[in-house]
């Protein structure tokens, strides 16, 4: 994937040096590498359901893993064991469940593991759809599960219209009420 897009993702995410970050669907781990360059005592945990992708991401980020800045898990987000982890920010880039399917199970996991001031950043693009259309789909997925959309961004990068939706999880009592359709 061209670096402009991942560079924009990491700029929007703006990881603080000490922040705890989660990436969903890290693929080859290119974004992890760029996030790690901004961390000092912070940490990124990356999950991907593909063992092949996790192996490649671990190879790319071996020095960050050795330094304790990056951790990788082969897992589908909906069933990932994130233990007691509490993240300041979570993000996903081009992970279809957030734009095409019903992300209820994934958002429940994220709501459990984001800090009270935490944010979810969803980035997506599809060649046949405008960024506004993609953003609407991302928004529908989070709003339908009682999340609040804080911002919607779009940008043309590497010949693609990329959409980003930044969302806050529901308050704990709202989450207990379950998804709102
Ligand atoms: C299109 S690739 C994008 C990879 C990377 N984010 C990028 O943009 O270069 C989507 C990745 O997300 C992973 N993935 C898709 N759904 C997932 C899920 N529910 N949980 C964990 N990983 C998932 C896939 O295995 C794949 O590696």
Segments making up each domain of the chain, as ranges: 3-176
* CATH class of the 3-176 domain in this structure: alpha beta
Token output for 131: 């960024």
Q: What confidence tier does 174 reach under pLDDT thresholds 50, 70, 90?
A: low
- pLDDT value of residue 173: 64
CA distance 73 to 76: 9
Centre of ligand 1 to C-alpha 115, Å, is 23
- Closest atom of ligand 1 to CA, residue 30: 9
Q: What percent of the chain has pLDDT over 70?
A: 94
- Helix, coil or strand: residue 148: strand
Q: What is the residue with the minimal CA distance to atom 20 of ligand 1?
A: 76
pLDDT higher than threshold 50 for residue 170? yes
Query: How far apart (Å, rounded) are the C-alpha atoms in residues 75 and 83?
Result: 13
Closest C-alpha to ligand 1, atom 10: 95
Taking only the tens place, the pLDDT of each residue in 146-166 is 999 999 999 998 888 999 999
> How far is the centre of ligand 1, averaged over its atoms, from the C-alpha of 172 (Å)?
28
Assess contact for 152 and 164: CB atoms under 8 A.
yes
The whole-angstrom separation of Cα 89 and Cα 68 is 18
Cβ–Cβ under 8 Å, residues 88 and 110? no
Q: Please give the number of the atom of ligand 1 that sits closest to the Cα of 23.
A: 6
Residue-wise pLDDT tens digits, 98-151: 999 899 999 999 999 999 999 999 999 998 899 999 999 999 999 999 999 999
Per-residue pLDDT at 21 exceeds 90: yes
Cα 89–Cα 119–Cα 2 angle in degrees, nearest 5: 60
Distance of CA 162 to the CA centre of its chain: 14
Q: How far is the CA of 97 from the centre of ligand 1 (A)?
A: 9
């Amino acid at each position: 994937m061209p670096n402009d897009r991942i560079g924009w993702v990491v700029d929007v995410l703006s990881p603080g040096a000490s922040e705890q970050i989660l990436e969903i669907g890290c693929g080859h781990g290119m974004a992890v590498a760029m996030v790690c360059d901004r961390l000092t005592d912070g940490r990124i945990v990356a999950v991907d359901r593909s063992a092949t992708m996790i192996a490649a991401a671990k190879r790319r980020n071996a020095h960050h893993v050795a330094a304790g800045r990056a951790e990788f898990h082969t897992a589908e987000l909906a069933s990932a064991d994130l233990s007691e982890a509490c993240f300041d920010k979570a993000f996903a880039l081009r992970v279809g469940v957030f734009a095409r399917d019903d992300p209820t199970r994934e958002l429940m996991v994220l709501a459990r593991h984001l800090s009270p001031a935490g944010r979810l950043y969803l980035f997506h693009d599809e060649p046949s759809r405008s960024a506004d259309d993609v953003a609407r789909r991302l928004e529908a997925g989070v709003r339908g599960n009682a999340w609040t959309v804080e911002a919607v961004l779009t940008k043309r990068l590497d010949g693609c219209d990329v959409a980003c939706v930044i969302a806050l999880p529901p308050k704990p009592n709202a989450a207990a009420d379950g998804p709102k359709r």
